Structure 1
Amino acid sequence: MNWLQLSRLLGLLAMLVGGSMVFSLPWAFPLLGEAVEFESKGFWALIETIIGSLCFGGLLVYLGRRESSTAILRKEAMAVVGLGWILAGIIGSLPLFLAGVMRAPDTPVTAIDALFESISGFTTTGASVLTELDDPAAIPRCVLFWRCFTHWLGGMGIIVLFVAVLGQLGAGGKAMMKREVPGPINESVRPRVRDTAVTMWLIYVAISGVLVGIYALEGMTFYDALCHSFATMATGGFSTHNASLGHFQSPVIELTATFFMIVAGSNFTLYYLVWKGRRELGEGRIASRLKPWFSDPEYRTYLAIIACATGAFFINLELTDRYLSWTESLRHSLFTTVTIITTTGFGTVDFTEWSEFSKGLILLLMFVGGCSGSTSGGLKVVRFLLFFKIIRLEIERAYRPNVVRPMKVFGVTVDKEMRHDVVVYFSLILFVFVSAWMVLNVIESDRQWENGEDVKAEKLIDCASAVASCLNNIGPGLGVLGPHNNYSGFSPQGKLLLTLLMLLGRLELFAILVLFVPDFWRV
């Protein structure tokens, strides 16, 4: 391991994360009545963190200055991604802790609470321990903005941003991006890795900007429009209100969020290909320009899953007379399907009160996730496509052992290495899920949730839901973790375990798992 090079890159990353907090500072200046003094505390917490991260990052860069021209190898690239996300989470937690943010009335956040909230933001999980978001005396506006901004940074990826800003990383930059951009098939949209990173961020910024304008036109304040566009495009789910999007009581806002969640859950490479087709083909021939969408099997499957799940929820809600009108049933069915499969986690309705069938379907959708190359979590639709193709071939081999049939996806033959990777990933996800579920049950076995209710009979499902939600970067879950509740009832040890699961899910396991292997650190 090249420790000096690792020091330099982590230092630059620390400076980038700390420097990005300057965008939160202006929100400390509007007077908020009696909360002015508390807002000032948030402002200075951000200033202290910015200065501290710049100094710490500068020291690391200074220590590794001699390795600035050395090529970045595979081990260093993986270490930068894994340690970089942990470092970003620690730096991001400092404003919440230093500002004395209130987790509940008269209960300030602990260091573990702040770390949980920060990692949840960067990984776009959206799980929270805060219960007083509407109270300006509980959390400063500027810190609340930073909390939402962590979503936006983590959505497209802090390493992708790092490569876009820094450049000059060559093959090392490509290796780092491959470990961060979700999905098993991550092809570059441009020949140079820095150009790819810049292009993806430009698309991300452009769509986010459009969404901010639409939210503002639909009645949100500019502040709320910014924060909710961060959460929507990053498929994170953090809100500035306890009731999430339900606070606005607007079906129009819900439909807008639904559409853009679907957009964010799609492969961003498709948007580049469509834009490239527009430039090459001109304004005419719409069908030709949209061919990347129509011809992409993952995108078609993604939309088909959304349609089928929405239909299943709708029929079940109608049969159980959950809502007075079929339009309400359809709206809640579509919104819930999209917010879960894209792993956004916005809440408008308490789906924990739905039937057991609906709750079971929600749990299944948690594992599916969006498309590869999107901002969504989960296993990704393309992996399920590959997995079922692999199963079909293996079944055929059982009665036709001599038949050799190539497996294709996206028009490309899938080699044995890719098939192996898919099976291993499914196996690891299952192993991590079951192991973490058992450990969390042991940690929380003798505890009551903070509402004081004795819910030990429900705790088995609650813990399974918590693990599935954090591992797949969703946020809300079932039982005590429904859309109107949060993770404040878990023990500090439980929160640390769930924080680790968020990182494992966002970085697709290996960039974090290798950090626990002693041989990885040896020269």
Structure 2
Amino acid sequence: MGFNSKIITHLMGLLLLFNGGFMILAALVSGIYQDGVTLEITLAAIVTMFIGVLAMFFTRGHDKEVNRKEGYIIVTFGWIIMAASGVLPYLFSGTIPNITNAFFETMSGYTTTGASIIDDIEILPEGILFWRSLTHWIGGMGIIVLAIAILPLLGIGGMQLFAAEAPGPNADKLHPRITDTAKRLWLIYFGYTVAETILLKLAGMSLFDAMNHSLATLSTGGFSTKNASLAYWNNQPLIQYIVIFFMFLAGSNFVLSYFAFKGKVQKIIRDEEFKYYTAFIVIFSVIVALVIYFKANVPITEYHPMVLGDAESSFRHSLFQVVAIVTTTGFVTADFTAWTPFITVFFFGLMFAGGSAGSTAGGIKIMRHILIIKNGLLEFKRTLHPNAIIPVRFNNKTVTEHVVYNVIGFFVLYMLLFVIGALVLGFLGLDFDSSIGGAASALGNVGPAFGSLSPLNNFNSLPALGKWWCGFLMLAGRLELFTVLILMTPYFWKKT
């Protein structure tokens, strides 16, 4: 095929070493809490790292140059290798003995989807819960590094976060070396995680719960240590407001956080995507809050202890769920599918929003929506003035036709894959609500869905084939479609 298989294998080995190192961290947590699975997690780490060392040893004389095709293979198979090795702590400890379930949970973790097959989360050992949250954090950190350092080099439009003219930060690189840019963004990511852990601990969470929820928040993942998710702390509003704040940060462009720390506040204020991102969240939250306040007659249960007409509760729950869905974090404070049919349809639409480009959020991304809408509106002008050159502008810069076409192509592919995804789930026996909700949730890396996959339930009811299919949708959505789907085209594998 003409591929440099040695460099591909060498990098897969490096990823396995990386993954094994994080398993050691989970084993340390397991040892501290004496949960009885320290040996099993340690063994999983040793096996993972041993395979990684072997892969790197036998390919140590590799050619260091990576071409574009090899880049696609490295990115896609890198995520698959991480998920395949990530199942070992679950399998070795016996907490998820079924390979299909273990792979689903792990892929959901690395893709920061947050959909789970575990019926009772709270009986899991602390080491396994921490590993589960770490898979989120690795995936969230990985997508930033991927977006900054790899995908722009592969020429993937829409995700050309710093190579394309459309996203504003392009003109102000953090550092001339792209690897140093990735390091700076990773430090921000790490710093936010530590800050949220401290704040949640001070607000009343245990240190263990605070760590796990911080790992899941900054990665926009959604795995919780409680069966009720954040609804467990419905009587502690401060905890939920802290999580809302960090979900909002995680769903915004991390480059803007860098500018904030450098005191360049004007860059944030002028950023068009950030303005729309913030405005959408505010407007959507107000709409949902008003509906809840006046219409939602929700019974008082563990999942939604809120009363009709309670202003603060209505505002907090609406803001929390809007931010959780838009940023694709997927935490829940209530079963939002019980908040009137209008709210159910409304949240289904939000599943296609996505956070900002350059964030850990999944979905289509706000930037793409803005460009599609702007281009659509400009078509009216172009129709009236066929000879005029009327370009799309973003952040006061002209967006090239190549980027616009790429964004439109992405949107069409995304919706097509969503329809196919829902059809497959329907074919496997899911009802209409569950099929479209499950496909939208998996592809957008959201987490909770509708029907049998609602916040009150989980994805364990899916048939085995449905779990593997949703795993594929999670991966495709997380890696921006093109990266995965291009490997399925015959011309990719032809010699050039």
TM-score with structure 2 setting the length: 0.91
What does residue 154 of structure 1 align with?
A: 139
What does residue 143 of structure 1 align with?
A: 128
Residues 90-489 of structure 1: pairs in structure 2 closer than 5 A = 90-101=84-95, 108-135=96-123, 139-157=124-142, 160=145, 175=153, 185=167, 187=170, 188-249=173-234, 250-276=236-262, 278=263, 289-322=264-297, 323-444=308-429, 459-489=431-461
Partner of 2:333, secondary structure, is: coil
Greater displacement, 464-473 / 10-19? 10-19
Q: Which runs of 5+ in 2 are unaligned?
A: 298-307
Question: Which AA in structure 2 matches 1:90?
Answer: A
Flag as ranges the 4+ runs of structure 1 deviating above 3 A: 171-174, 176-188
Q: Structure 1 CA distance, aligned partners of 2:202 and 2:403? A: 46
Shift of 1:90: 0.8
Is the 1:125–1:475 Cα contact (8 Å) retained in structure 2? Answer: yes
1:19/1:161 CA distance change after superposition, 3 Å:
farther
Could you give the per-residue CA deviations for residues 416-447 of structure 1, whole angstroms, max 9, x where no partner exists? 100110110010001100111111111125xx
Shift of 1:54: 1.4
Partner of 2:121, secondary structure, is: coil
Could you give the per-residue CA deviations for residues 485-522 of structure 1, whole angstroms, max 9, x where no partner exists? 10010000000000000001110111111222343234
Shift of 1:159: 7.7
Could you give the per-residue CA deviations for residues 164-212 of structure 1, whole angstroms, max 9, x where no partner exists? xxxxxxx869637979968674845321121011101001111111111
Q: Structure 1 CA distance, aligned partners of 2:155 and 2:75? A: 8
Partner of 2:459, secondary structure, is: coil
Among 488, 491, 496, the residue aligned to 1:516: 488
Question: Which AA in structure 1 matches 2:52?
Answer: G
Q: Structure 2 CA distance, aligned partners of 1:182 and 1:349? A: 36
Q: Structure 2 CA distance, aligned partners of 1:467 and 1:512? A: 17
Partner of 2:114, secondary structure, is: coil
Give the count of matched residue pairs.
475
Identity among equivalent positions (%) equals: 36
Shift of 1:162: 12
Shift of 1:44: 2.3
1:162/1:482 CA distance change after superposition, 3 Å:
closer
Q: Structure 2 CA distance, aligned partners of 1:88 and 1:503? A: 12
Is the 1:72–1:172 Cα contact (8 Å) retained in structure 2? Answer: no
Shift of 1:328: 1.4
Q: Structure 2 CA distance, aligned partners of 1:44 and 1:81? A: 31
Could you give the per-residue CA deviations for residues 46-97 of structure 1, whole angstroms, max 9, x where no partner exists? 2222111112112221232221x43111111111100000000111111112
What RMSD in Å do the two structures reach over aligned CA positions? 2.2
1:321/1:273 CA distance change after superposition, 3 Å:
closer
Among 498, 505, 508, the residue aligned to 2:477: 505
Q: Which runs of 5+ in 1 are unaligned?
A: 102-107, 164-170, 279-288, 446-458
1:89/1:182 CA distance change after superposition, 3 Å:
farther
Could you give the per-residue CA deviations for residues 251-297 of structure 1, whole angstroms, max 9, x where no partner exists? 11111111111111110001112223x3xxxxxxxxxx311111001
Among 54, 58, 67, the residue aligned to 2:49: 54
Q: Structure 2 CA distance, aligned partners of 1:384 and 1:172? A: 23
Is the 1:173–1:193 Cα contact (8 Å) retained in structure 2? Answer: no
Could you give the per-residue CA deviations for residues 375-404 of structure 1, whole angstroms, max 9, x where no partner exists? 111111010110011101212222221221
Greater displacement, 7-16 / 261-270? 7-16
Among 14, 29, 44, the residue aligned to 2:39: 44
Is the 2:144–2:359 Cα contact (8 Å) retained in structure 1? Answer: no
Question: Which AA in structure 2 matches 1:28?
Answer: S
Question: Which AA in structure 2 matches 1:255?
Answer: Y
What does residue 453 of structure 1 align with?
A: none
1:173/1:429 CA distance change after superposition, 3 Å:
closer
What does residue 7 of structure 1 align with?
A: 9
Could you give the per-residue CA deviations for residues 226-272 of structure 1, whole angstroms, max 9, x where no partner exists? 00001111111100110111112311111111111111111000111
1:180/1:299 CA distance change after superposition, 3 Å:
closer
